[in-house]
Amino acid sequence: MSVPIPQPPRIPFIGNVAQLDTTVPLNGFVLLAKQYGEIFKIDILGRPIISINTYALQQELCDQKKFRKYLGGAMVQARVLGGDGLFTAFDDEPNWGIAHRLLTPAFNAVAIRDMFDDMQDLTDQLLLKWERFGPEHIIDPSEDYTKATLDILALCTMSLRLNSFYNEEPPRFGSAVSEFLKECFLRSARPSLLQAVMTSSSRKFEELRQYLWGIPSDSMSIPILLSFVFGVIKTDCAVVLKDRRANPTDKKDLLNTMLNSADPKTGARLNDDSIIKNLLTFLVAGHETSSGTLSFMTYYVIKNPEVWRKLQNEVDEVTGGQRLQYSHLGRFSFLEACMRETLRLAPAAPMRTVAPYEDTVIGGGKYFLPANTPCLIQTFTTQRDPAVWGADANEFRPERMMDGKFEKYPPNAFQAPCLYWSAIRLQEMKMIMACVVQKFDLSFIDPSYTLEIQQGLSIKPKDLRIRARPRTSGPRLYATPSYSMPQNKSTQSKSSNRAGPAIQADKLVPMYVLYGSNTGTSEAFAQRIASAAATYGFAAKLGTLDSATGNLPTDGPVVIVTASYEGLPADNAAQFVDWLGSLKSNELKGVRFALFGCGHSDWDRTLHKIPLLCDQLMASHGAERLMKTGLGLSGAQDFFEVFDQFEADLWKALTTKYTVTQSQSSTSIGFDIEIIDTVASRADTLNQPDAALGTVKENKVLTQPGHPVKRHIEFELPEGLTYRAGDYLSILPQNPPRDVQRVLARFNLSEKQMVVLSSIGPTSLPTDQPVSLYDVLLGYVELSQPATTQDLRIMMGVATTDSTRAALKEMRSSYQAKILAPRLSVLDILEKYPSSDINLPLGVFLRLLPPMRVRQYSISSSPLWNPQHATLSISVLESPSLADKNKIFLGVGSNYLSQLNPGDRVQISVRESHGGFHPPEDPSTPIIAFGAGSGLAPLRGFIQERALQKSSGRNVGKILLFFGCRDPEGDYIYKKQLDEWVKLGVLDIRPAFSRDPAKSDGCKYVQDRLWNDRDDVTDLFDDNAQVFICGSSRVAKGVMSKWAEILRSNDPTLSAEDAMKRLEETMQGRYATDVFDA
Ligand SMILES: Cc1cc2nc3c(=O)[nH]c(=O)nc-3n(C[C@H](O)[C@H](O)[C@H](O)COP(=O)(O)OP(=O)(O)OC[C@H]3O[C@@H](n4cnc5c(N)ncnc54)[C@H](O)[C@@H]3O)c2cc1C
Ligand SMILES: NC(=O)c1ccc[n+]([C@@H]2O[C@H](COP(=O)([O-])OP(=O)(O)OC[C@H]3O[C@@H](n4cnc5c(N)ncnc54)[C@H](OP(=O)(O)O)[C@@H]3O)[C@@H](O)[C@H]2O)c1
Ligand SMILES: Cc1cc2nc3c(=O)[nH]c(=O)nc-3n(C[C@H](O)[C@H](O)[C@H](O)COP(=O)(O)O)c2cc1C
């Protein structure tokens, strides 16, 4: 007995068109599959389409006796261009049959091998470009791969040189194809009546078609073919045609095959019209998919440094450092596995359409498909089906594609690319990638780049930008005497080659300050060292650790400041750490380094793992430690003090070991500030392109008056940004205006004051241009960080009275009690004294302030609710200052967010959550979740996702939520919505009211409630539940130790330690925490 196929709610007349993502249709289908499961139906203007989302159903549709290729929607629209060419033909069209039989032999192995030289020629052009532009150049890999693959196609199919690399612009042909196909999709989703009135859209469509054809289609002939080429290169098409006819060649290119051969079956020849359409097809379908795959592969191999290293090793080993030969290609087994894995995760054609010849039932009798119903096989989703590819199906793991494993996957699990192209594509992609790997080290421009997709005919990574640094080796030389560390504009002052206030730059000793940092602490410390360097006689360059991968300099000290994340490196240090791990002997001889590690005691098992690993690997591979490695705990009271001590020791060690000229002035470390009287450049600054800005849609209070404020904020994301439940939004905040005014008042300046900053060392402040001082104080620096001991020393140096100097000295000697405990900032201290007592110049004050850090917030929604919108649930930090109970401390990020109004634009980006904090792939897996206060945030996204899945007919597992707040009336955030989800049957909620425990069965905190409800928890855990904890680290610790107590209550022989050990073993792979203390 069949069951109805689930379908999203329809709107009369247009059906489900509104649910489709017109920018990236694939994203819409992926989300609908998540919501509706293995199969769903959509209605496009009355036309039903079935989406197939699992391997099992896909396999049934691969039966060619029952299902045929279906050309519908966008492809029918595309026939105005491709007609009965191979790509857009109906199977029964005669020209398709002729072309198919004629051309198949032209794609045989020998023919493709003969293309090797042409392919290499054009690959060289790409390599040359990357080499010439140098390591600082920002590369759009999709654009360059498109140039290479389009040129390869034109040369190999019709012996035509397009010379795309001699043209600055991206190939117009490629972008015209993408625009054309997107328009095909949009037209297919529009009612014809609406299309008829959309004259500008129709005009654009016709223009694109004409451009791609060269001239209108009603006069098709061979010259037309060359006319469209004429649109791509500025060559006289008639001459090319004449030339081919006047000088026939033996070259077995596809143009010759089509011009000169007859169909072996019928003896028919292709007419001119058909030749043109097929040539168009080759160029359209052939280049775009290859360049997309190469771009995705580039993304995946950079993202996975261990893969990159393996790939380099294989290429080095196979080629022996020599120029690539055809015979090498067959020996790149790991490279081939990487290509397959890329094609699995990002299939160039992410969906294809088939239709049953007759009425059919699939899914073991479950789903009825009427004859000729178009069925979209969602390859992008089916190739990630955990039933075939395992629980790590979403991960890039080339090893699953080699050593005989690939062959063992069930039939059709890997949907091979189109017959005609596979061999050509595989060869060209292998060649291009092998040559790139052999020549360059690649890195992201933005180390935290998160993959987004753009879709035309095929898919490509959106806005992927990389850097290609020529490898210094062959095989591999690591320590190099001169250094070319990339620097982004904001970290290098334009005036760094100028003499500063007290120091001559050309006398300085080179120094390299490298950081691995996600949230900015290590970066701020590194910045601080780099800024002070000139005072001690060093010219510092500041960069990420990744920027120094394979290339640690030996001509000056290297100082490293780095953090760990779940035992892994920060985003901008992953390549570096992997590279260190790959060293074999004394490659780092000559490198001299000092290292400071940031960590947090909450991660006791992986405490300081990365700094310690870097330290140990560097020393064991020949680098010389300049001093004892420093380690600080970011949550600890003495964090800054420990760093200060490290910095003081660092300068002592460096000035002893290097011959340098130091500046004596304690204020020479400051910015040189020129006060100017104009506000003219403000408008320029405000005219910044705002593509990465999100828009606030809603900002409302969730708590009752008298309770610490919590807010719900909804953002419309910048276009193309996607997320998963559990991810974070990273926000670049601004300081509270109140605190900016405090600074202006202290320095007696107006908020309209414009300044020009110049700096001898690297800085993250805007230099050498007029800027508003207010803007600098608002957005570029942290104003409320505790003063460091070094800050105190500098203030002592400019104190004008003995009593003030003595007071500052006292603060320094009782640093913990006088500065850290009350969290006294430099500004707080300055305000305590008349300005005449501490004569600190504004430039020095600015230099003492750390750069503004981003703040991260868990997204509290699911993309199934709205893929373009994300919500936050924040706790606003506004409480009596620890320094002075009569003053209010305002947290920067939370207060910035709290003040936003609908329509405000905010600099945001999505960051992937660490450590698997996402709803389980299989929605039927039960969840046990603990959240206190705003720790409910990501869990709300999980519940919302399940509620939507359940409402769409999916079988979802229960969520048992332990939620902690003060009382049921004041701060039980989202109560109404949570109750609705309880009613829906997706949620079972167990509150704990800390200030009114009587109303929660006597349980004060979530861990008490866990104890109270332990039988339910045990049952659900035995039912394979996954566990998630979010909130402050105290909550996580409380829950884990209470759970260990439950184990002990069942087995009294267990010691507390053994119980915890057993708990961790039992929870292995089924437990994720997301904790942080503000
Ligand atoms: C992965 C992740 C996810 C997160 N998700 C969320 C979320 O969903 N919701 C949420 O609300 N938060 C979340 N946070 C916390 C959030 O990022 C911020 O840390 C928090 O909002 C506080 O930042 P702030 O800029 O407002 O405060 P800051 O300006 O950074 O001030 C905080 C500092 O001030 C100190 N301080 C606190 N009180 C006082 C006082 N009375 N006087 C003087 N000093 C004081 C604190 O010790 C702390 O060092 C998350 C954090 C992480 C790392
Ligand atoms: N992804 C993340 O990492 C993430 C996401 C969101 C929030 N957070 C963090 O979570 C924290 C939550 O802050 P908030 O202001 O939202 O919470 P809150 O309102 O201050 O506290 C929520 C509840 O937790 C209780 N609580 C206090 N100490 C506890 C303990 N040791 N064990 C269990 N419960 C305890 C509180 O009780 P009493 O006040 O009555 O003692 C209150 O009932 C912040 O530090 C925030 O940065 C982290
Ligand atoms: C999600 C997360 C995971 C962390 N994992 C670790 C860890 O494994 N080991 C450790 O010592 N510190 C860990 N920390 C603490 C950070 O390393 C520490 O806060 C550091 O100061 C952050 O530096 P950054 O701001 O330069 O990124 C973690 C912090 C977060 C938010």
Range among 18-32, 670-684, 894-908 rated most confident: 894-908
Centre of ligand 3 from the C-alpha of residue 604, in Å? 11
Centre of ligand 2 from the C-alpha of residue 995, in Å? 13
Is the pLDDT assigned to residue 556 strictly greater than 50?
A: yes
Which of 117-126, 264-273, 830-839, 934-943 has the least mean pLDDT? 264-273
Query: pLDDT tens-digit profile of 745-800?
Result: 999 998 888 888 887 777 778 878 888 899 999 988 999 999 998 899 999 999 99
Q: Is the CB of 519 under 6 A from ligand 3?
A: yes
Question: Which residue ranges are tagged as binding site for heme?
Answer: 418
What's residue 145's pLDDT? 94
Query: pLDDT tens-digit profile of 48-76?
Result: 999 999 999 999 999 989 998 887 666 66
DSSP state of 905: E
Question: Which residue puts its alpha carbon closest to atom 19 of ligand 1?
Answer: 1078
What's residue 160's pLDDT? 77
Decide the pairing of beta strands 888-890 and 878-880: antiparallel
Q: Is the CB of 48 under 6 A from ligand 3?
A: no
Is residue 746 within 8 Å of residue 830, measured between CB atoms? yes
Residues of the chain with pLDDT > 90, as a percent, come to 54
Question: Which residue ranges are tagged as binding site?
Answer: 418
Q: Is the CB of 874 under 6 A from ligand 1?
A: yes
Overall average pLDDT of the 706-733 stretch:
92
Q: Is the CB of 662 under 6 A from ligand 3?
A: no
Is the pLDDT assigned to residue 640 strictly greater than 90?
A: no
SS3 label, residue 448:
coil
Q: Is the CB of 521 under 6 A from ligand 3?
A: yes
Pocket test for ligand 3, best of 513, 527, 528, 634 (most atoms within 8 A of CB): 634
What's residue 13's pLDDT? 73
Is residue 1022 within 8 Å of residue 960, measured between CB atoms? no
What's residue 854's pLDDT? 86
Range among 351-355, 373-377, 528-532, 633-637 rated most confident: 373-377
What's residue 519's pLDDT? 77
Confidence band (pLDDT; 50, 70, 90) for 17? confident
Centre of ligand 1 from the C-alpha of residue 875, in Å? 8
Is the pLDDT assigned to residue 493 strictly greater than 70?
A: no
Using CB distances shorter than 6 Å, the residues near ligand 2 are 708, 858, 875, 932-935, 937, 964-966, 994-995, 1005-1007, 1030-1032, 1034-1035, 1038, 1074-1078
Report which of residues 283 and 349 the model is more confident about: 349
SS3 label, residue 504:
coil
Q: Is the CB of 855 under 6 A from ligand 1?
A: yes
Question: Which residue puts its alpha carbon closest to atom 42 of ligand 2?
Answer: 965
The atom of ligand 1 lying closest to the CA of 877 is: 26
Q: What is the 3-state secondary structure (H, E, C) of 778-828?
A: HHCECCCCECCHHHHHHHHHCECCHHHHHHHHHHHHCHHHHHHCCCCEHHH
Is the pLDDT assigned to residue 491 strictly greater than 50?
A: no
Going by C-beta distance under 8 Å and a sequence separation of 6 or more, which residues neighbour residue 1037?
none
The atom of ligand 2 lying closest to the CA of 917 is: 1
Is the pLDDT assigned to residue 242 strictly greater than 70?
A: no
For residue 527, give Cα distances in angstroms to 209, 544, 665, 924.
53, 11, 20, 48
The type of residue at 900 is L
Centre of ligand 1 from the C-alpha of residue 378, in Å? 42
Which one, of 319, 280, 564, lies nearest residue 430 by Cα?
319
Is the pLDDT assigned to residue 131 strictly greater than 60?
A: yes
Tokens found for residue 809 = 């000295």
Question: Which residue puts its alpha carbon closest to atom 25 of ligand 1?
Answer: 893
> In what helix (H) or strand (E) does residue 153 lie, and over which residues does it extend?
helix 141-158
Cα–Cα distance measured from residue 1051 to residue 1053, given in angstroms and rounded to the nearest whole number? 5
Ligand located closest to 602 CA: 3
Report which of residues 482 and 989 the model is more confident about: 989
Centre of ligand 2 from the C-alpha of residue 948, in Å? 28
Confidence band (pLDDT; 50, 70, 90) for 177? low
Is the pLDDT assigned to residue 672 strictly greater than 70?
A: no
Centre of ligand 1 from the C-alpha of residue 977, in Å? 26
Residues of the chain with pLDDT > 70, as a percent, come to 81
Cα–Cα distance measured from residue 419 to residue 579, given in angstroms and rounded to the nearest whole number? 39
Report which of residues 1028 and 507 the model is more confident about: 1028
Is the pLDDT assigned to residue 960 strictly greater than 90?
A: yes
For residue 769, give Cα distances in angstroms to 681, 757, 758, 781, 844.
8, 7, 9, 17, 18
Overall average pLDDT of the 898-907 stretch:
93
Range among 12-26, 59-73, 92-106 rated most confident: 59-73
Which of 289-293, 345-349, 659-663 has the least mean pLDDT? 659-663
Question: Which residue puts its alpha carbon closest to atom 24 of ligand 2?
Answer: 932
Ligand located closest to 1033 CA: 2
Q: Is the CB of 640 under 6 A from ligand 1?
A: no
Ligand located closest to 962 CA: 2
Which of 165-174, 320-329, 685-694, 1040-1049 has the least mean pLDDT? 685-694
Question: Which residue puts its alpha carbon closest to atom 22 of ligand 2?
Answer: 933
The predicted model scores a pTM of 0.80
Report the mean per-residue pLDDT for the chain. Answer: 84
Which one, of 743, 739, 730, lies nearest residue 897 by Cα?
730
The type of residue at 1057 is E
What's residue 228's pLDDT? 42
Pocket test for ligand 2, best of 871, 895, 994 (most atoms within 8 A of CB): 994
Q: Is the CB of 1076 under 6 A from ligand 3?
A: yes
How many other C-beta atoms lie within 10 A of the C-beta of residue 767? 21
Overall average pLDDT of the 942-959 stretch:
96
